[in-house]
Amino acid sequence: LLLLDEPLAALDARTRLEVRAQLRRHLAGFEAVAVLVTHDPLDAMVLADRLVVVEHGRAVQEGTPAEIARRPRTDYIAHLVGLNLYEGRAQGRTVQLNGGPAVTTDSDLSGPVFFSFPPSAVTLHRDRPTGVSARNLWRCEIAGLETRGDRIRVDLTGELPLAADLTAAAAADLDLHLGSIVWAAVKATQTHAYPA
């Protein structure tokens, strides 16, 4: 049983990477079951073969890191893996989101589903676009702007609250600021729907 929390968190970023790499190699060569308990999602995603995600004292999802990252089942997990996540009911390629608009996906499903897409799939426009191929289009208001490396994370409210990632140049071209009204578009091919 390995308990990881404060020991790695107290290290600088470069040392954390080195320790994770050494620990991953050690665990790969270990010929028994090792249980790793951590509050750091990156440690879990990098070091584990299987994950059990616990929220408020109960297991909410389990699987390989890739399965969990591809098909998150809670807002917390979606936030950790960097996805916009919604629940709804599918009929063919249309999903009626709970408390929200109908959206289009390239998956053909029926019944309760999760609907997700990465913030990088979102394009923003100052005016309602014409002639765009995106089937999903929403009028939104900018509620937050945050620099993340070479990207700008834009938090949007409106008919569909969501996050978008833009280059700094795109954000500057759009003259984005808190309270700005923009149109957010996502192509159906950049969404993912799966059974709830």
Range of the domain at 108: 86-195
Q: Which of 83, 103, 129 is the last residue of a domain?
A: 83
CA trace torsion 184, 188, 194, 196 (10° rounding): 40
- pTM reported for the whole predicted model: 0.81
Domain end call among 40, 60, 83: 83
Find, among 15, 65, 26, the residue nearest to 42 by Cα: 65
Tens place of pLDDT per residue across the chain (196 aa): 455 555 566 667 777 777 777 777 777 777 778 787 777 787 788 888 899 999 999 999 999 999 999 999 999 999 989 999 999 999 999 999 999 999 999 999 999 999 999 999 999 999 998 876 668 999 999 999 999 888 999 999 999 999 999 999 999 999 999 999 999 999 999 999 999 9
Verify that 94 and 165 share a domain, yes or no. Answer: yes
Segments in 2-120 forming alpha helices (H)? 6-9, 13-29, 41-47, 65-70, 75-81
Q: How far is CA 37 from the centre of its chain?
A: 22
